[in-house]
């Protein structure tokens, strides 16, 4: 999701341009910090040698949440979590804002960025390393799910608007003749991305999501108004405990359209996952 195109490709030249732009065009400005509580300026270090810049609000309840990606689109959720005592880490992904590296419009490298956040939080004296969660928006939701499938350092995940990052996932999200068009156009895009970025696409999320259990996952999607319909598919494939909410307002707009309901649901999920009985205390809740 994230910055990827959501309309049906018109020509097969377009995916070349989309892939190139997604891997080479920088950067958004860093917004003014408005986190509601005192924060620290922080620098994170990725396993491939990049420095990522961000802000951290110290924890008052020994739990912390990474809200990913970026600082602009995540700030309102960060304020919400800080009000409830959570440590909150938000930072510029690679190639964005003040962080080093080339941009990655499809998120294929973001697992390294998320792991850098996890390593930072695990070293914090105010955080219990067993009480770290992630909220991922759009492509951040996809990569938060991938990271949770690869490491137990994430105790819980909220995946909001998670969809497709690769040609295989785009094909999964299409039907009929659109599957052929998705294979041709997004396959071309992925091939271009492999050449220009120098790394292979990640494993299909349908294979990864079942590996997260028994850690809890909360899927938020916008039903027919979302840009894809893979969120409910990932929910069905996930093991227990899990829950899903079909929110109003379109792709990643749940907090903007239903702020009180969003806060109630997300904070309740995190409280039960991180502060109460852990995964065993987070039962299935649909809509």
Please count the other Cβ atoms lying within 10 Å of the Cβ belonging to residue 7. Answer: 7
Residue 248 resides in a domain: yes
pTM beyond 0.75, yes or no? yes
- Rounded CA-CA distance 78/135 in Å is 10
Please count the other Cβ atoms lying within 10 Å of the Cβ belonging to residue 93. Answer: 29
pLDDT at 21: 45
Q: Which residues contact 32 (CB under 8 A, 6 or more apart)?
A: none
CATH, residue 80: 3.40.50.1820
* 90 secondary structure, DSSP code: E
Residue 239 resides in a domain: yes
For 110-148, what is each residue's pLDDT tens digit? 899 999 999 999 999 999 999 999 999 999 999 999 999
**Smallest Cα–Cα separation from 202: which of 71, 278, 281, 106?**
106
Residue 188 resides in a domain: yes
The pLDDT of 219-223, averaged and rounded, is 97
Residue 257 resides in a domain: yes
pLDDT at 221: 97
Q: Count up the domains in the chain and report the number.
A: 1
Number of residues written out for the chain: 287
Lowest mean pLDDT, pick from 10-19, 133-142, 211-220, 229-238: 10-19
Residue 163 resides in a domain: yes
For 145-195, what is each residue's pLDDT tens digit? 999 999 999 999 999 999 998 888 888 888 888 898 888 888 888 788 788
**Smallest Cα–Cα separation from 189: which of 207, 172, 170?**
170
Residue 1 resides in a domain: no
For 56-75, what is each residue's pLDDT tens digit? 999 999 999 999 999 999 99
The pLDDT of 70-85, averaged and rounded, is 96
Strands across the sheet containing 285-286: 40-45, 51-57, 87-91, 64-68, 132-137, 156-160, 217-221, 242-246, 285-286
- Rounded CA-CA distance 284/287 in Å is 10
DSSP secondary structure string, 231-269? HHHHHHHSPSSEEEEE-SSSTT-HHHH-HHHHHHHHHHH
Given CA atoms 227, 94, 85, 272 in this order, what sign does their dihedral have?
A: positive
Domain containing 171 equals 14-274
Q: Which residue has better confidence, 29 or 22?
A: 29
Residue 73 resides in a domain: yes
Residue 230 resides in a domain: yes
- Rounded CA-CA distance 94/113 in Å is 7
């Amino acid at each position: 999701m994230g910055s990827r195109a959501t309309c049906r490709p018109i020509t097969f030249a377009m995916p070349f341009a989309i892939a190139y732009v997604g891997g080479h065009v920088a950067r958004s400005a860093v917004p003014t910090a408005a986190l509601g509580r005192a924060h620290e300026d922080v620098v994170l270090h990725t396993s491939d040698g990049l420095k990522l810049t961000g802000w951290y609000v110290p924890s008052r309840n020994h739990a912390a949440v990474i809200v990913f990606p970026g600082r602009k689109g995540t700030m309102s959720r960060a304020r919400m979590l800080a009000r409830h005592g959570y440590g909150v880490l938000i930072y510029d992904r690679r190639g964005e804002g003040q962080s080093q590296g080339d941009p990655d419009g499809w998120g294929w490298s973001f697992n390294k960025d998320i792991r850098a956040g996890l390593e930072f939080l695990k070293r914090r004296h105010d955080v219990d390393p067993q009480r770290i969660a992630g909220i991922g928006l759009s492509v951040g939701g996809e990569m938060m799910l991938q990271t949770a499938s690869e490491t137990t350092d994430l105790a819980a995940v909220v995946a909001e608007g998670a969809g497709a990052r690769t040609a295989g996932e785009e094909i999964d999200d299409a039907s009929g003749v659109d599957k052929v068009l998705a294979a041709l156009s997004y396959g071309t895009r992925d091939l271009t991305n492999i050449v220009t970025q120098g790394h292979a696409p990640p494993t299909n999320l349908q294979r990864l999501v079942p590996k997260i259990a028994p850690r809890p996952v909360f899927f938020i999607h916008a039903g027919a108004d979302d840009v894809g319909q893979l969120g409910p598919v990932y929910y069905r494939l996930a093991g227990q405990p899990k829950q899903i909410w079909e929110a109003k307002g379109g792709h990643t707009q749940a907090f903007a359209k239903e702020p009180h309901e969003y806060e109630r649901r997300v904070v309740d999920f995190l409280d039960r996952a991180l502060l109460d009985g852990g995964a065993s205390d987070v039962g299935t809740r649909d809509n």
